[in-house]
């Protein structure tokens, strides 16, 4: 499968998943937005992004699992112990600070979070080995700045922390780890760059992603509270002032930060009064004032093709992130191969057991088939879809088992229930029941598929 189709599928799947995924995420959303804005820089790995990337990679590698009689030790990483109390506390704090609802614990299990903790411990150990350290004073200053840019005061946020059973020290410790790891990865991956030429090539090869589809138009709007305000803005526009600039300065709508950009819109998405005017506009035409229940709008229909200059930075950031994620996966895999890791927490389930012959006959499998066990609500699964499709294009065999619809799932329940880990995505080798759990790099999945042959 070509790269264009892979990335196009990925974007479409992620858009669909995100509609469902973000419904439940409300707690601390504004605080986190300010936090991420504050820590974002030209460095390739901002600390705030690591919590997501490390979780993505948390369960993608082979670890030696031994069930030992150490009831309070969840894991040992090169001699460093992670206690059950630490696991429980950090797991709960992670859900608090991310604002995730309890239902997400079906997707982010404590077992998978433990492996995120292992990733963090390994990277911090590597940072110490490389002489990287962060002063407490630096972390305090970053936190103070982050909180000052948030919509809540430090006292208010501390009350929220305490109410949930946490302290400012928990926040400090959490943030310090991310900063240390960020410093390590900036040092290790500082040469990962996507040039303007590469971004332009991607844009030219994928113009359909930036072109309105059938029945779609691309819109911007400026929203204000009163008609006099709208009249003044409309006069300024007719005098030649820039629509995007005025939208950023004057609009009260959430799209103001994007210059009023609403993206591609199809009929049925907007309120009736807005839609009736918008779909009568020609490309690059500006409407008169439109009144809706939200206020007074001035609408502009943009060209159906988004210009490269508008999306260049987004393309560069997206491609760089994909490369960084791939490099980080390989980097962690190399560290883990050289590390002594023992996991005591979680019930180790049997692999390497025989698969009944009826499973092959009844479901059309062969011993070199890999089962892709996934769900439509899982963003990690969504990102693995294009990887699986890519490997299928190379000749590897996959059986798709989707838990939400039940499509292809019967074989998993009938023949591989003994190795299901309670999370998705999970890859199962039908020949010997070996498995990998979680989002993993393309190269890791390729190696796993090869081991099943």
Phi, psi of 371 (to 5 degrees): -85, 130
Please, what's the largest Cα pairwise distance for the chain?
Answer: 78
What does the block give as tokens for 355? 């698969």
β-pairing verdict for 370-374 and 73-77? unpaired
Do 76 and 5 meet the contact criterion of CB atoms below 8 Å apart? no
pLDDT at 50: 53
d(CA 8, CA 3): 8
First to last CA, the chain: 21
Residue with tokens 């943009």: 302
Using DSSP's 3-state secondary structure scheme, residue 182 falls into helix
Domain positions in the chain? 3-193+312-337, 212-301, 349-451
Do 349 and 421 meet the contact criterion of CB atoms below 8 Å apart? yes
d(CA 295, CA 449): 56
d(CA 383, CA 268): 29
Do 452 and 370 meet the contact criterion of CB atoms below 8 Å apart? yes
109-162 pLDDT, tens digit per residue, is 888 889 889 999 999 999 999 999 999 999 999 888 888 887 788 899 899 999
What does the block give as tokens for 34? 């300010």
pLDDT at 453: 83
Closest CA to 359 of 431, 425, 428, 424: 431
Burial class (CB in 10 A: 0-12, 13-18, 19+), 447: middle
d(CA 284, CA 265): 15
What does the block give as tokens for 411? 């074989």
CATH architecture of 349-451: 3-Layer(aba) Sandwich (3.40)
Do 93 and 310 meet the contact criterion of CB atoms below 8 Å apart? no
Burial class (CB in 10 A: 0-12, 13-18, 19+), 424: buried
Using DSSP's 3-state secondary structure scheme, residue 319 falls into helix
**Domain 212-301, CATH 3.40.50.300 — does that match?**
no
Instruction: Please report, to the nearest 10 degrees, the dihedral formed by the alpha carbons of residues 6, 7, 13, 19 taken in order.
Output: 180
Per-residue pLDDT 10s for the chain (453 aa) are: 444 444 444 444 333 333 333 333 333 333 333 333 333 333 444 444 555 555 555 544 434 434 444 568 999 999 999 999 999 999 999 999 888 888 888 778 888 889 889 999 999 999 999 999 999 999 999 888 888 887 788 899 899 999 999 999 999 999 999 999 989 988 888 888 999 999 999 999 999 989 999 999 999 999 999 999 999 999 999 999 999 999 999 999 999 999 999 999 999 999 999 999 999 999 999 999 999 999 999 999 999 999 999 899 999 988 988 888 778 888 888 898 899 988 888 644 555 566 777 788 888 888 899 999 988 877 778 888 989 999 999 999 999 998 877 778 888 888 888 888 767 888 999 988 888 888 788 888 999 999 888
How many C-beta atoms surround the C-beta of residue 290 within 10 A? 20
DSSP, residue by residue, 79-96 = TEEEEHHHHHHHHHHHHH
Burial 203-217 (b: 16+ CB within 10 A, else e): beebeebbebeeeeb
Which helix (H) or strand (E) is 35 found in, with range? helix 29-39
Tell me the CATH number for domain 3-193+312-337: 1.10.4030.10
DSSP at 211: B
d(CA 325, CA 313): 18
Do 453 and 368 meet the contact criterion of CB atoms below 8 Å apart? yes
């Amino acid at each position: 499968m070509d790269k264009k189709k892979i990335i196009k599928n990925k974007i479409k799947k992620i858009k669909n998943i995100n509609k469902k995924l973000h419904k439940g995420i409300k707690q601390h959303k504004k605080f986190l937005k300010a936090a991420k804005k504050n820590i974002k820089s030209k460095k390739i790995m901002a600390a705030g992004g690591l919590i997501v990337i490390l979780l993505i990679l948390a369960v993608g590698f082979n670890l030696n699992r031994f069930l030992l009689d150490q009831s309070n030790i969840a894991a040992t990483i090169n001699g460093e112990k992670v206690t059950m109390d630490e696991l429980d506390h950090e797991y709960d704090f992670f859900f608090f600070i991310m604002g995730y609802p309890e239902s997400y614990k079906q997707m982010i299990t404590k077992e998978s979070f433990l492996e995120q903790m292992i990733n963090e411990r390994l990277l911090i150990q590597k940072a110490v080995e490389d002489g990287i350290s962060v002063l407490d004073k630096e972390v305090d200053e970053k936190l103070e700045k982050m909180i000052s840019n948030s919509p809540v005061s430090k006292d208010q946020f501390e009350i929220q922390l305490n109410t949930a059973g946490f302290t400012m020290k928990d926040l400090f410790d959490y943030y310090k780890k991310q900063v240390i790891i960020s410093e390590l990865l900036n040092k290790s991956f500082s040469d990962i760059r996507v040039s303007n030429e590469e971004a332009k090539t991607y844009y030219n090869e994928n113009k359909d992603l930036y072109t309105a589809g059938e029945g779609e138009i691309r819109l911007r709007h400026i929203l204000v509270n009163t008609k006099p305000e709208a009249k003044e803005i409309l006069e300024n526009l007719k005098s030649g002032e820039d629509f995007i600039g005025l939208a950023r300065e004057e609009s009260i709508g959430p799209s103001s930060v994007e210059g009023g950009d609403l993206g591609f819109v199809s009929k049925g998405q907007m309120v009736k009064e807005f839609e009736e005017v918008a779909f009568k506009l020609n490309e690059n035409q500006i409407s008169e004032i439109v009144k809706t229940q939200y206020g007074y709008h001035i609408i502009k229909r943009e060209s159906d093709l988004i210009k490269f200059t508008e999306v260049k930075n987004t393309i560069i950031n997206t491609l760089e992130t994909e490369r960084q994620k791939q490099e980080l996966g390989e980097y962690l895999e190399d560290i883990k191969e050289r590390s002594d890791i023992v996991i005591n927490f979680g019930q180790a389930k049997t692999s390497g057991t025989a698969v009944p012959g009826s499973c092959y006959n009844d479901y059309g499998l062969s011993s070199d088939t890999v089962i892709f066990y996934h769900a439509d609500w899982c963003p990690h699964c969504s990102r693995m879809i294009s990887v699986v499709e890519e490997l299928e294009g190379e000749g590897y065999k996959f059986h798709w088992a989707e838990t939400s619809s039940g499509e292809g799932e019967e074989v998993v329940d009938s023949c591989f229930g003994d190795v299901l880990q309670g999370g998705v995505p999970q890859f199962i080798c039908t020949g010997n029941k070996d498995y990998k759990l979680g989002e993993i790099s393309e190269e890791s999945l390729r190696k796993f598929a090869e081991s099943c042959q």
